[in-house]
């Protein structure tokens, strides 16, 4: 059986609760104060099986003082019942509720004229005409209009048939995406405790699925909780999914940890934000212009938050106009691109507009960023208006492109879009112009940024080798710092590997050179090389300090130093310690002498080693430590032996 949420909207005392009771047999006014005063104060709930659907009804309060409560429940509605009383016709909250539902993107519904028995046919016809004027040009322009009497039941069956017709006409694409491709989200609208069970929260499952015994998190705190039990429409269930009124029995959190306005979602998924870029629509009925940096009340899901509106490229917005804007909130919340919101004036309270979230992790607006940012927002706005794969593909593309040399990993894309990691992986694999870097989690990078970094690395390496022909190559760390400072190590390595595979670079250890290039010593440099090696042969195992060695060689200090480090890189000189050098053939000689003097694992002491080579402790200790590091010798206490590898070479 499929699931669907229907919400009511309309002025106080126009019979919304009575209508839901007539349809479902369930009384939605649960508070004692509601029963005493005869008005709905908070949102109420009922359910009905109709047209192969299990329908959850959300009944909202109609009084202007309780619009905040109405907004807490109406966000997850798929189909609307716009309720107008025949004896009063269109009233202020009829208009405001209808505007709110339009701003929230509800796309289907039925107009219901209640209390038909209180008026004659002529007045009933007039009310229908006034209702038609109200909804003209909106999603309800061609909706069914049904007159009922909730107390006698007259017209209720006709209304059910009208609902069946609207249900069949509903666009299933969005509902399928919400259920199967997006992460679990449930805005909390009630929190209470049940003796013997503990903490219970209720809400409309906005997207995704949750299972019994699964772990979820409470946002914006991020605190984890375990789902001990699930009820759907008051029936126990192993799973809840999008489009269902859901009650979750939670462990790991207390009642005081939760409140209306928070949201439940997957652990380690959403990233709460206080800054979001939006597409904003100001109602024609808004009381005056909206100024840049005006304080506002931001309603989203079941939350009401205080913030300021920063108009992008505009100083003010006139009623009936729209623009891109940045909202900065005083406290964090969870939003995703495509989420709808409503704005109300900070004071006095009234609904002024609303729109769609475009980006939940933008940088703070600066005028100098507008030229680049506005086209991106236009692309995001276009993307969220598209169905299914087109939407996700363009969203991901804009996010990855704007991430520059950082790229965006799969975890970040879940937090930025609200889609599941599986769905995002599928999208990434099919998108042209994006390269996936194998790491955990996988990293998506803009192919143009990848190729640009590769070109710059090759150019820099070529210039580096011209200036320092004897260098082993450019240190990898320097290349990363220059061209991919924010990129991951995997990203940088992927660029180098691609350049190596393309035959452009050679990578050896920590250095990078142009492929096929070799260091060629000039005649002057060759003379320096011979002199350095000659000096080291004169003093085997007792070389002078590096600076002293360099000063003894004819030529500029810079030239001698370049040749010296070239010989280190090519292995013609071995650095035993910071200031102690030997030659490879001297090391070979040393190993042979050790094998002759201390065969078959015979242990020797430092004094014995000194005597063997005729050197002082100053040279013996660093040389022995080098032999230990090179696994030629093994130290045990104050003695050493040749390693098994060395003795096997006898």
Q: What number is the average pLDDT over the span 392-400?
A: 91
pLDDT at 529 over 70: yes
Give the mean pLDDT of 437-451: 93
Q: How many CB atoms within 10 Å of residue 92?
A: 12
Flag whether pLDDT at 387 surpasses 90. Answer: no
Domain ranges in the chain are: 2-170, 177-266, 273-373, 523-647
**CATH code given to domain 2-170:** 3.40.50.300
Q: What share of the chain is helix, strand, coil (3-state, %, to 5)?
A: 40, 30, 30
Residue 190's SS3 state is strand
CA distance 474 to 462: 10
| pLDDT of res. 560 | 84
pLDDT at residue 571, rounded to an integer: 84
Scan for tokens 């006139």, then name that residue: 318
| CA 368 – CA 371 distance, rounded (Å) | 7
Local structure of 93: helix, strand or coil: helix
Q: Considering only CA atoms, which of 588, 577, 586 is closest in space to residue 535?
A: 586
Q: What local confidence, expressed as pLDDT, does residue 617 receive?
A: 92
Q: What is the pLDDT of residue 195?
A: 86
pLDDT for residue 626: 93
Strand partners, 635: 640
> Does the structure show a pLDDT above 80 at 29?
no
367 by Cβ neighbours in 10 Å (0-12 / 13-18 / 19+) ranks as: exposed
Q: Given pLDDT bands bounded at 50, 70 and 90, which one contains residue 517?
A: low
Q: How many angstroms separate the CA atoms of 318 and 281, rounded?
A: 10
Task: Give the residue with greater pLDDT, 569 vs 381.
Answer: 381
Q: Give the pLDDT of residue 388.
A: 61
Q: Is the pLDDT of residue 395 over 70?
A: yes
Is residue 37 over pLDDT 80? no
Exposed, middle or buried: residue 116 (CB in 10 Å: 0-12, 13-18, 19+)?
A: buried
Residue 173, burial from CB neighbour count under 10 angstroms (0-12, 13-18, 19+): exposed
Please report where in the chains the tokens 């005392």 appear, as a residue: 13
**Cα distance between residue 90 and residue 107, in whole Å:** 21
pLDDT-wise least confident of 29-38, 301-310, 375-384, 560-569? 29-38
Mean pLDDT of 6-26: 92
DSSP string, 338-399: T-EEEEEESSS--EEEEEEEEESSPPPP-GGGHHHHHHHHHHHHHHHTS-HHHHHHHHHHHH
pLDDT value for 341: 96
Name the pLDDT band for 64 (thresholds 50, 70, 90). Answer: low
Side-chain-side CA neighbours of residue 423 (13 Å): 23
Which among 321, 313, 314 is positioned nearest to 286, based on CA atoms? 321
Distance CA 198, CA 211 (A): 18
Q: What integer pLDDT is reported at residue 272 of this predicted model? A: 97
CATH, domain 523-647, list 3.30.70.3290, 3.40.50.920, 1.10.10.10, 1.10.357.10: 1.10.10.10
At residue 174, the pLDDT reads 67
- Give the least confident one: 69-83, 114-128, 191-205, 371-385: 69-83
Burial class (CB in 10 A: 0-12, 13-18, 19+), 615: middle
Mean pLDDT of the chain: 89
Tell me which H or E stretch contains 549: helix 546-551
More confident residue, 357 or 646: 357
Candidate from 279-283, 492-496, 630-634 with smallest mean pLDDT:
630-634
Query: In 10 A of CB 578, how many CB atoms?
Result: 8
Q: Is the pLDDT of residue 641 over 70?
A: yes
Which pLDDT does position 271 carry in this prediction?
Answer: 96
pLDDT band at 51 (very low <50, low <70, confident <90, very high): confident
Give the Å distances, CA to CA, from 493 to 351, 439, 444, 547.
53, 11, 14, 36
User: What's the pLDDT score for residue 547?
Assistant: 84
Whether 273-373 shares its CATH topology with 523-647 is answered: no
Residue 54 has pLDDT above 70, yes or no: yes
What does the pLDDT look like over 141-168, one tens digit per residue? 999 999 999 999 999 999 999 999 999 8
The pLDDT score that the predictor gives to residue 41 is 65
pLDDT tens digits, residue range 311-321?
A: 998 899 999 99
Q: What pLDDT score does 276 carry?
A: 97
621 pLDDT above the threshold of 90:
yes
Report, as an integer, the average pLDDT of 380-406. Answer: 85
Cα separation, 71 vs 61, whole angstroms:
10
Range 273-373: architecture per CATH: Beta Barrel (2.40)
Per-residue pLDDT, 220: 96
pLDDT at residue number 75:
79
Mind listing the pLDDT tens digit for each residue in 551-601? 888 878 888 888 888 888 778 889 898 888 999 999 999 999 999 898 877
| pLDDT of 374 higher than 80 | yes
Comparing 197 with 649, the larger pLDDT belongs to 197
Q: Which CATH architecture has domain 177-266?
A: Beta Barrel (2.40)
pLDDT of residue 538: 87
Q: Which two tokens stand for residue 274?
A: 């206080």
465-469-470 Cα angle (round to 5): 130
Residue 261 is predicted with a pLDDT of: 93
Instruction: Say what the pLDDT of residue 74 is.
Output: 82
For residue 36, pLDDT over 60 is answered with no
Q: CA neighbours within 13 Å on the CB side: how many for 301?
A: 29
> Which of 78, 88, 92 has its CA nearest to residue 14?
88
What are the pLDDT digits (tens) for 242-292?
989 999 999 999 999 999 999 999 998 999 999 999 999 999 999 899 999
State how far the Cα of 68 lies from the Cα of 54, in Å rounded to an integer. 27
**pLDDT score, position 526:** 80
30 has a pLDDT exceeding 80:
no
């Amino acid at each position: 059986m499929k699931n669907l949420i229907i919400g009511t909207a309309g002025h106080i005392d126009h019979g919304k609760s009575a209508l839901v009771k007539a349809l479902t047999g369930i009384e939605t006014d649960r508070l004692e104060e509601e029963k005493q005063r005869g008005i709905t104060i908070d949102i109420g709930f009922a359910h009905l099986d109709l047209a192969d659907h299990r329908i959850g009804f959300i009944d909202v309060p109609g009084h202007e003082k309780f619009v905040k409560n109405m907004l807490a429940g109406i966000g997850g509605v798929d189909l609307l019942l716009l309720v107008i009383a025949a004896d009063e016709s269109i009233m202020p909250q009829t208009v405001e509720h209808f505007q709110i539902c339009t701003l929230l993107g509800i796309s289907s519904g039925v107009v219901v004229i209640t209390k038909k028995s209180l008026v004659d046919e002529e007045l009933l016809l007039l009310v229908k005409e006034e209702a038609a004027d109200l909804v003209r040009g909106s999603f309800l322009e061609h909706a069914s209009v049904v007159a009922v009497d909730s107390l006698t039941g007259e017209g209720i069956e006709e209304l059910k048939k009208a609902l069946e017709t609207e249900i069949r006409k509903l666009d299933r694409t969005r509902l399928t995406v919400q259920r199967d491709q997006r992460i679990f989200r449930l805005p909390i609208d009630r929190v209470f405790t049940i003796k013997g069970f503990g903490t219970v929260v209720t809400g409309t499952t906005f997207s995704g699925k949750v299972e019994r015994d699964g772990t979820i998190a409470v946002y914006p705190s991020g605190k984890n909780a375990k789902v001990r039990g699930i009820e759907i429409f008051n029936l126990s269930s192993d799973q809840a999914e999008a489009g269902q009124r859901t009650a979750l029995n939670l462990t790991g959190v207390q009642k005081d940890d939760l409140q209306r306005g928070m949201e439940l979602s997957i652990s380690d998924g959403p990233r709460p934000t206080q800054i979001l870029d939006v597409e904003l629509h100001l109602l024609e009925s808004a009381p005056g212009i909206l100024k840049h940096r005006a304080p506002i009340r931001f309603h989203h899901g079941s939350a009401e938050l205080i913030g300021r509106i920063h108009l992008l490229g505009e100083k003010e917005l006139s009623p009936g106009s729209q623009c891109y804007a940045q909202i900065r909130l005083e406290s964090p919340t969870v939003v995703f691109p495509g989420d709808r919101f409503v704005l109300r004036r900070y004071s006095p309270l009234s609904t002024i507009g609303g729109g769609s979230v475009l980006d939940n992790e933008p940088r703070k607006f600066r005028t100098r960023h507008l030229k680049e940012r506005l086209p991106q927002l236009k692309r995001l706005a276009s993307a969220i208006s598209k169905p299914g794969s087109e939407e996700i593909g363009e969203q991901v593309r804009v996010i990855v492109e704007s991430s520059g040399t950082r790229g965006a990993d799969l975890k970040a894309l879940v937090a930025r879009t609200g889609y599941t990691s599986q769905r995002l992986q599928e999208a990434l694999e099919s998108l042209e112009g994006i390269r996936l870097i194998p790491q955990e989690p996988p990293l998506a990078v803009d192919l143009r940024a990848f190729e640009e970094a590769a070109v710059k690395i090759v150019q820099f390496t070529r210039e580096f080798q011209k200036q320092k022909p004897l260098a082993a190559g450019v240190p990898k760390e320097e290349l990363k710092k220059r061209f991919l400072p924010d990129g991951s190590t995997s990203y940088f390595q992927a660029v180098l590997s691609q350049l190596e595979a393309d035959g452009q670079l050679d990578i050896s250890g920590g250095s990078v050179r142009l492929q096929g290039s070799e260091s060629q010593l000039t005649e002057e440099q060759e003379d320096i090389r011979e002199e350095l090696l000659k000096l080291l042969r004169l003093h085997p195992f007792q070389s002078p300090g590096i600076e002293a060695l360099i000063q003894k060689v004819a030529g500029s200090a810079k030239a001698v130093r370049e040749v010296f480090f070239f010989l280190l890189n090519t292995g013609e000189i071995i650095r035993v310690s910071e200031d102690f050098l030997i030659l490879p053939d001297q090391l070979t000689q040393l190993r042979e002498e050790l094998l002759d003097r201390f065969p078959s694992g015979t242990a020797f002491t430092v004094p014995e080693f000194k005597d063997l080579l005729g050197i002082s402790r100053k040279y013996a200790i660093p040389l022995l430590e080098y032999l230990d590091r090179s696994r030629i010798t093994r130290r045990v206490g104050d003695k050493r032996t040749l390693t098994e590898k060395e003795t096997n070479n006898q």
